[in-house]
Structure 1
Amino acid sequence: MPAARLLAPFALLLVAVPAAAEEFAFLAAPHHDLNRVFRVNRETGEVGACQYAVKDGSVGVTLCFPAGEGAGAQEAGAYDLVATNHAKEAGVYRVDRRSGAMSVCYVLGEQTVCTPPAR
């Protein structure tokens, strides 16, 4: 019985870890010739993107584009990412499943940007 009391706090940690795994959603851009993946914070709506780049003499690098204009934190919501079926589309939609608002997000220069939300 004393061992069970000692392990109880660690059991709570194991239960909390899966909840944190749902904080972000990820989606590849639908463009067939682009190796870019977008991420959205499900609660805040902040969007970013990363892609692989070749670097001579190494295994390559991961280039990440932080949130820029319109891609920062929004009003609290239930955000997700949705891609179109357009084979040459480099951006994705950020959708708020609570309000129905949508923005188009894409990489511009060295930042991820999003259009103003609309319904």
Structure 2
Amino acid sequence: MRGRTGYRVRAAGAAAGLLLAGAAHAASYEFVPAPQADLNRVYRVDKATGEVISCQYGLQENTIGTTLCFGPGEGAGPQAPSEYGLVASRHLREAGVFRVNHRTGAMSICYVLDDAVVCTPQGNAGSEAPRTGAAPTPATKP
């Protein structure tokens, strides 16, 4: 009887491990709706690579409709490996979202252009430009 209990514990542990592995795999994407109030668009980012796509509902004659998806275009493809996420602004007429790098603080704006998602180059004001409100460096005289 004791041997069977050990087997059950090991089997339960293995099953829990598989569930956790599945949950970790399932957590590899993040989804955020576009903030535009009259647009039914959702963006998806691969949290490890930063690749962004978008999908929305589309009308199609004689059907219940279709899912229109826009693949990654310029700047929306895989980036350097990191921890990426998406943030929607609160601007009700904004159709794009921010792709954020949680490790570096860099951000880019992603939106649908023609038939693909495009993203601006990543920017990080904290390391590339003086902060707003910082006193300018005085010029020195020779």
| Shorter-chain TM band | over 0.9
**Match for 1:30 among 15, 31, 35?**
35
The residue aligned with 1:61 is 66
The residue aligned with 1:18 is 23
Unpaired runs of at least 5, structure 1: none
Post-superposition Cα deviations, 1:56-103, rounded to whole Å, max 9, x if no partner, equal 111110000000100000011111101111110000000001001000
Q: Cα 1:100–1:8, aligned 2, differ >3 Å: closer, same or farther?
A: closer
Inter-partner Cα distance in structure 2 for 1:3 and 1:84: 52
The residue aligned with 2:48 is 43
Give the letter for the 1:45 counterpart: G
Give the letter for the 2:114 counterpart: G
Name the SS of the counterpart of 2:76 in structure 1. coil
Give the letter for the 1:50 counterpart: C
Identity %: 50
Moved over 6 A (4+): none
Inter-partner Cα distance in structure 2 for 1:98 and 1:80: 10
Post-superposition Cα deviations, 1:22-68, rounded to whole Å, max 9, x if no partner, equal 10000000001100000000110000000000111111100000001
Number of aligned positions between the proteins = 119
Q: Where is the strand percentage greater, Structure 1 or Structure 2?
A: 1
TM-score, structure 1 normalization: 0.92
